Structure 1
Amino acid sequence: MTVDQNYLEQAQECIAAGDLGDAILLLEEAVEKGHESVEIAKLLARLSLRIDEVRAFQNWCHEALRMDPKDIEVHRMMEAYFRENGRDWEADEVRAIADAIKT
């Protein structure tokens, strides 16, 4: 198991126990120690939305895309957020990028 997988597993345990704050702190610790990964950034983005930290959600999505610009899941997460919040033009823009990546 890699270090980032270990952090992800521990974070999932915190989430299962209802400790979102502890999960976020654990994942941020991983990033601070140089163990960042796309999966950690995506989980931090999801958790940020769960605690209504929209700016953090967007920052973690962008960080994930910096590491892997072709990660369709990140584009879909952003598209869903924008659609749910009536920001259709932004959702359309993100979807177009994702569709271009798939082809």
Structure 2
Amino acid sequence: MDDFASQIYSVVYQIPHGKVATYGDIAQMAGFPRYARQVGKLMASLPKDTQLPWHRVINAKGCISLTGEGLIRQRERLQAEGIEISEAGKLSLRRYRWMHDTDA
């Protein structure tokens, strides 16, 4: 695994239960500002049985970027953590966004 991937995975692993972070947030926290698209590609390439909380990573608009079955699966996982999310996959970043240096 390359340094970029390991840094990204390390940050994603730290997102607490019931919180979310954007692709850009993850890139920034890992030391790779403006690499949001690459974070998205990395999340998309994870195996289905991964233990990484990939479902806690959303886009900057506060929406799930996936469609179809992926959207349903991610929405269900977030709802199971108590996150209120619309059928279309939209949630409140103000309420649920994880800020690494202020949250546990």
Provide TM-score, normalisation by structure 1: 0.41
Say which one has the larger Rg. 1
More helix by share: 1
Provide TM-score, normalisation by structure 2: 0.40
